[in-house]
Amino acid sequence: MRTAYQDQLEDLTNQLGAMCELAGAAMERATQALLQADLVLAEQVISDQDVLGEHSARTEEAAFVLLALQAPVARDLRSVVSAIQMVADIDRMGALAVHVAKIARRRHPVHALPEEVNGYFSEMGRVAVELGRTAQEVLLTGDIDKAARIRAEDDAMDDLHRHLFNVLMDREWKHGVASAVDVALLSRFYERFADHAVEIGRRVIFMATGELPEYEELPPETWRD
């Protein structure tokens, strides 16, 4: 029975890892759609959201079954409860990629981004995808040192987010209000994606040590459809 229980815990971790992979791939494709004004790719990101949603539902159900039938304690309890919380984080990562794709779709066939900010978003996309991959790795390996480093790696995204706001506030901005709103929203979507990756790292540390790093808590989610 104990072996079967541990197998269920391992399966739960693997499901979370698979969800992270899907969310990272969605943001990678969404970034390509945004930079290339690729309608087909944007539509793919939007339609694939259902796949991540199905994974979320199955993973959450598996976690609740473990709680109900196995009554885990100590580290196992932390793992199951953290898994439920991480399902929500990863689901939001996928949803944020969809938000990016929807802006690309709405502006098609025009590029949603002025050319002068393309470099910022290319880098934000790269950082977001890398953070997603790191979150997946720490989930699967339980590497708490690498989990702690996610917070530092997120600083690059925060810097890009701040720089973009400086660009928007510059008197030389000549692309109008609608474009400025798109850029501000998109920047926020990438920054939030990174924040959720940081939160996954916190949960991995909590699962292993019983202590939750005192990072700034994510505020209530406001970027919903």
| Domain assignments of the chain as residue spans, ordered by start | 2-209
Q: What is the CATH number of domain 2-209?
A: 1.20.58.220
* Residue 186, number of CB atoms within 10 A of its CB: 25
Tokens of 11: 């399966």
Which portions of the chain are predicted below pLDDT 50?
217-225
Where b means 16+ CB within 10 Å and e means fewer, 147-170 reads bbebbebbebbeebbeebeebbee
Say whether pTM exceeds 0.75: yes
pLDDT at 222: 36
pLDDT at 14: 95
| Encoded amino acid at 100, one letter | V
pLDDT at 103: 97
